[in-house]
C-alpha cells in the first residue's frame, strides 16, 4: 500500500467544521478596522530574504533559526514571510504610499520554523495593522483602543494589556551600556542563550523565559529610568488616554519585543487561558524601519495578532459553529427532482440572504431527510408528487418540535425572508 502523504508538521488544515469561528474573527476584524478608516493591503507570501534580515535583524530568533529560506531557480535567496511588517514597509516604499499618512491592515499566513506546540505552529495566521506617517501618542492610543474594541466585539474578555516604552535609539544605547555592565557582572548566572545575547542583543535578555535569568533580570536597571522628557511625555500621554477610556493596563518595564526595530511604545495583550503561549496580540512603534529599508524617514506603528490563539479562545468560550445552511431541499420522485433546481433558484432570487442547500444524488424520502437533518439546517423543504400537485412546499422544522406544514411559493419566501 502506498503511504499517505500528510501535511507538514506544524502546518494545519482548517476544516469546514471550524471555519465559522475563523470567519467570525476575520469579519469582525475587518468591520472594526474599516470603522477606524484602515484599508487592507495584500502582499506576496514570498520576499527576498534580505528584506527580513534587514528589518527584523540578523540577531533575532526569527532570522537566526526560524525562516523558511530557499534558493529560487535563478539563485536568489527567497523566504516565506515570517511576519507582515517588513512586506508592508517594502510595499509602501515601492509604491510611493508614504507621501501621506497611511492606515493599513493585512491578514494571512506567516511561516516560522519553530517547535510546534499548543498555540505555536509553523504556518500560522495573523491580522496586523501598520500606520505610517504619524508620530504622536494619539495614534498609538488609537491602535490600543481599536484592539480593545475588537476583543469586546468578539465577546472576549479577561485579556491583560501590558505596555512599555523602549525609548529612542540614543536613550536605548545609553541604557544598553548599563544593562550590559550589569548583566556582564552576573554572566555566570545567565542561561546560555542569554549569555550569547549579552553582546549581540542584550535587551532580549530582559524577556528571557529562563527562571534563573529572570531572577537576575528582576534587579537589572530599568529602561524607564533612562527615558528623556520627550519619550516620557509620549508614554504618559498614552497612559492618560487609556485611563480616560477606562482601559486597564499594566506598565511592564521588562516588556521588550522579539524584533529589533521597535522604539518608544510597545504593547501586548495577554491571556492566562492558553498556557505558555499567552500573547494574542503584540505591537509597537518602529520609527526607524522605513529609513532602514531605504525609504525616507517616516514614523510608523503597528501590531499583529495571532488568529489560531483567538480561535482557540473562542472555542474554549463555547462559541459553537453556526450551521452552514438555513434550509435543505428534499425532492422525491422524477418530476420533483426535475423542477427542484429551478424552484431553488427562484427561492434564492426571492430571498437573497437565504442559505439553501439542495439535495443531490436522488434516493428515498427517508435517506434524503436524514441528509437534511445532518446538514444542520433549520428547515427541510419537501417536494414530492403530492406537493407538486398542490403547488406547495412541505416545510418541516428540524431543530424544534413542529408538524410539517404546506406553504405556497410566496408564503415560503416570506417565511424564510
Ligand atoms: P511569541 O513570544 O509568542 O513567540 P512573537 O513575539 O514571536 O510571539 P510576534 O512576531 O509579535 O510574536 O507575532 C504577533 C502574534 O502572532 C503573537 O502574539 C502570537 O499571537 C502570534 N504568533 C507568533 N508566532 C506564532 C506561531 N508560531 N504560531 C501561532 N501564533 C504565533
Ligand atoms: Mg516568537
Q: Is residue 215 part of a domain?
A: no
Which grid cell is 393?
A: 412546499
Asked whether the predicted pLDDT for residue 126 surpasses 90, the reply is yes
CATH number for position 362: 3.40.50.800
Q: Among residues 282, 297, 316, which one ends one of the domains?
A: 316
Q: What confidence category does residue 345 fall into, taking pLDDT thresholds of 50, 70 and 90?
A: very high
| 99 and 21 within one domain | yes
Distance 140 CA to ligand 1 centre (A): 20
Q: What confidence category does residue 370 fall into, taking pLDDT thresholds of 50, 70 and 90?
A: very high
pLDDT of residue 209: 83
Q: Is residue 179 part of a domain?
A: no
| 346 and 253 within one domain | no
Asked whether the predicted pLDDT for residue 350 surpasses 80, the reply is yes
Report the first-to-last Cα separation within the chain, whole angstroms.
Answer: 52
| 258 and 115 within one domain | yes
| 367 and 277 within one domain | no
Q: Among residues 272, 287, 316, which one ends one of the domains?
A: 316
Identify the top-confidence range among 170-184, 217-231, 349-363: 349-363
> What pairs with residue 196 in β-bridges?
none
* Residue 84, marked binder: yes
Q: Is residue 248 part of a domain?
A: yes
| 299 and 240 within one domain | yes
Q: Is residue 187 part of a domain?
A: no
| 380 and 266 within one domain | no
Asked whether the predicted pLDDT for residue 320 surpasses 80, the reply is no
**Over the chain, what is the mean pLDDT?**
94
Q: Is residue 7 part of a domain?
A: no
Q: Name the 3-class secondary structure at 216.
A: helix
150-202 residue pLDDT tens: 999 999 988 999 999 999 988 988 888 999 999 999 888 888 888 888 888 88
Q: How many domains does the chain have?
A: 2
Q: Give the binding-site residues of ligand 1, using a 6 Å CB cut-off.
A: 83, 112, 114, 119-121, 124, 126, 258, 277, 279-282, 304-306, 308-309
For the segment 59-82, the average pLDDT, to the nearest whole number, is 94
Question: How many Cα neighbours within 13 Å face the side chain of 25?
Answer: 27
Query: Range of 340's domain?
Result: 327-416
Residue 228's H or E segment, with its range, is none
The residue whose CA has the least distance to atom 11 of ligand 1 is 282
Q: Is residue 192 part of a domain?
A: no
pLDDT of residue 410: 97
| 307 and 241 within one domain | yes
| 154 and 286 within one domain | yes
Residue 58 DSSP symbol: T
Q: Among residues 288, 316, 344, which one ends one of the domains?
A: 316
CATH number for position 143: 3.30.930.10
| 404 and 372 within one domain | yes
Asked whether the predicted pLDDT for residue 259 surpasses 70, the reply is no
The Cα 228–Cα 217 span in angstroms is 22
Higher per-residue confidence, 2 vs 259: 2
pTM over 0.85: yes
Whether 167 contacts 273, CB under 8 Å: no
Atom in ligand 1 nearest the alpha carbon of residue 207:
2
Q: Is residue 177 part of a domain?
A: no
Q: What is the DSSP string of 67-124?
A: --EEE-TTS-EEEE-S-SHHHHHHHHHHTTGGGS-EEEEEEEEEE-----BTTB-SEE
| 299 and 236 within one domain | yes
Distance 11 CA to ligand 1 centre (A): 15
| 300 and 355 within one domain | no
| 357 and 284 within one domain | no
For the segment 262-267, the average pLDDT, to the nearest whole number, is 92
pLDDT of residue 258: 64
For the segment 3-19, the average pLDDT, to the nearest whole number, is 94
pLDDT of residue 59: 77
Higher per-residue confidence, 173 vs 86: 86
Q: Is residue 40 part of a domain?
A: yes
Exposure pattern of 31-70 as b/e (b: 16+ CB <10 Å)? ebbeeeebeebebeeebebebbbbbbbeebbbbeebbbee
Whether 70 contacts 113, CB under 8 Å: no
Q: Which ligand is nearest to the CA of 279?
A: 1
The order of strands in the sheet holding 327-331 is 356-358, 327-331, 379-383, 393-397, 405-407
Atom in ligand 1 nearest the alpha carbon of residue 304:
14
Amino acid at each position: 500500500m502506498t503511504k499517505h502523504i500528510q501535511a507538514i508538521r506544524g502546518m494545519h488544515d482548517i476544516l469546514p467544521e471550524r471555519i465559522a469561528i475563523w470567519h467570525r474573527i476575520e469579519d469582525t476584524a475587518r468591520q472594526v478596522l474599516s470603522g477606524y478608516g484602515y484599508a487592507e493591503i495584500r502582499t506576496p507570501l514570498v520576499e527576498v530574504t534580505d528584506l527580513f534580515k534587514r528589518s527584523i535583524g540578523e540577531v533575532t530568533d526569527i532570522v537566526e533559526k526560524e525562516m523558511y529560506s530557499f534558493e529560487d531557480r535563478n539563485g536568489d535567496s527567497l523566504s516565506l514571510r515570517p511576519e507582515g511588517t517588513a512586506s508592508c514597509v517594502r510595499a509602501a516604499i515601492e509604491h510611493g504610499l508614504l507621501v501621506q499618512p497611511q492606515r493599513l491592515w493585512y491578514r494571512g499566513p506567516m511561516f516560522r520554523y519553530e517547535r510546534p506546540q499548543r498555540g505555536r505552529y509553523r504556518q500560522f495566521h495573523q491580522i496586523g495593522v501598520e500606520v505610517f506617517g504619524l508620530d504622536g501618542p494619539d495614534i498609538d492610543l488609537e491602535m490600543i483602543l481599536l484592539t480593545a474594541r475588537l476583543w469586546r466585539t468578539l465577546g472576549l474578555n479577561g485579556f491583560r494589556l501590558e505596555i512599555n516604552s523602549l525609548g529612542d535609539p540614543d536613550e536605548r544605547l545609553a541604557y544598553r551600556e548599563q544593562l550590559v555592565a550589569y548583566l556582564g557582572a552576573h554572566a555566570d548566572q545567565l542561561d546560555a542563550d542569554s549569555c550569547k545575547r549579552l553582546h549581540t542583543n542584550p535587551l532580549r535578555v530582559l524577556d528571557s523565559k529562563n527562571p534563573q535569568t529572570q531572577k537576575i533580570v528582576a534587579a537589572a536597571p530599568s529602561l524607564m529610568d533612562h527615558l528623556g522628557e520627550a519619550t516620557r511625555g509620549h508614554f504618559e500621554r498614552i497612559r492618560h488616554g487609556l485611563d480616560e477610556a477606562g482601559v486597564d493596563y499594566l506598565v511592564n518595564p521588562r516588556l521588550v519585543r522579539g524584533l529589533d526595530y521597535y522604539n518608544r511604545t510597545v504593547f501586548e495583550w495577554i491571556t492566562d487561558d492558553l498556557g505558555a503561549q499567552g500573547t494574542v496580540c503584540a505591537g509597537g512603534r518602529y520609527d526607524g524601519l522605513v529609513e532602514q529599508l531605504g525609504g525616507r524617514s517616516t514614523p510608523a506603528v503597528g501590531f499583529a495578532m495571532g488568529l489560531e490563539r483567538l480561535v482557540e479562545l473562542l472555542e474554549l468560550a463555547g462559541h459553537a459553529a453556526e450551521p452552514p445552511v438555513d434550509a435543505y431541499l428534499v425532492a422525491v420522485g422524477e418530476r420533483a427532482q426535475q423542477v427542484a433546481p429551478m424552484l431553488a433558484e427562484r427561492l434564492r432570487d426571492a430571498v437573497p440572504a437565504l442559505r439553501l442547500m439542495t439535495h443531490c444524488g436522488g434516493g428515498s424520502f427517508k435517506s434524503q431527510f436524514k441528509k437534511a437533518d445532518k446538514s444542520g439546517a433549520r428547515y427541510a423543504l419537501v417536494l414530492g408528487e403530492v406537493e407538486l400537485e398542490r403547488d406547495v412546499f412541505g416545510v418541516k422544522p428540524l431543530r424544534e418540535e413542529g408538524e410539517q406544514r404546506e406553504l405556497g411559493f410566496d408564503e415560503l419566501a416570506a417565511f424564510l425572508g
